[in-house]
Amino acid sequence: MDTAKIQKLLKPVITFKTKVSYFKVLEEGLSVGYERRYFTKEQTRIVTLPVGYADGYPKTSTKNGYVYLNKIRYPVAGRVCMDQMMVDIGKDGQAYVGDEVELWGKNISLHEISQLSERSLYELLCEITQRVPRIYI
């Protein structure tokens, strides 16, 4: 059985979530994040998430990472910071402070994040720090 088929059969046993902590509308041409690597292409909405590489979210997801918010995948905007990251939800995206955001789990597999961030599954799991609260079910 090939890897793609196996991935479809597996169910996630861990979910990494956070909540929206800030919301802002930015005009076209403004930079987001450190080193000014991300610029808005049009007026857009940016949400801030209180999680970063110090919590175990891969810094290498800066270029092509995404999150799942309100049943939609949105791209990471700018560099993943130590304590936070920004997400571009577009000009029509809706989000409120306190909305739950999936970093990986049911809708975004850890395997996908591993491939996008060019990190092994084991590294990602081991790098979730003690700063992140755990809920065991």
Per run of 10 residues, the mean pLDDT along the chain (length 137 residues) is 70 90 96 91 97 93 89 95 96 96 93 89 91 89
Give the DSSP H/E element, type plus range, for residue 3: helix 3-9
- Contact between 55 and 128 under an 8 Å Cβ cutoff? The reply is yes
Cα angle for residues 71, 51, 27 (degrees, 5° grid): 70
Mean confidence (pLDDT) of the chain? 91
Give pLDDT, residue 12.
Answer: 76
Candidates 2.60.40.2700, 3.40.50.10860, 2.40.37.10, 3.40.50.2000; CATH matching 3-126? 2.40.37.10
Q: What is the β-pairing status of strands 38-39 and 22-26?
A: unpaired
Structure tokens at 72: 């939609």
Q: pTM of the full predicted structure?
A: 0.89
| pLDDT at 7 (0 to 100) | 67
- The pLDDT value recorded for residue 10 is 73
Dmax over CA atoms of the chain, in Å, equals 48
Q: Across the strands, what pairs with 24?
A: 46
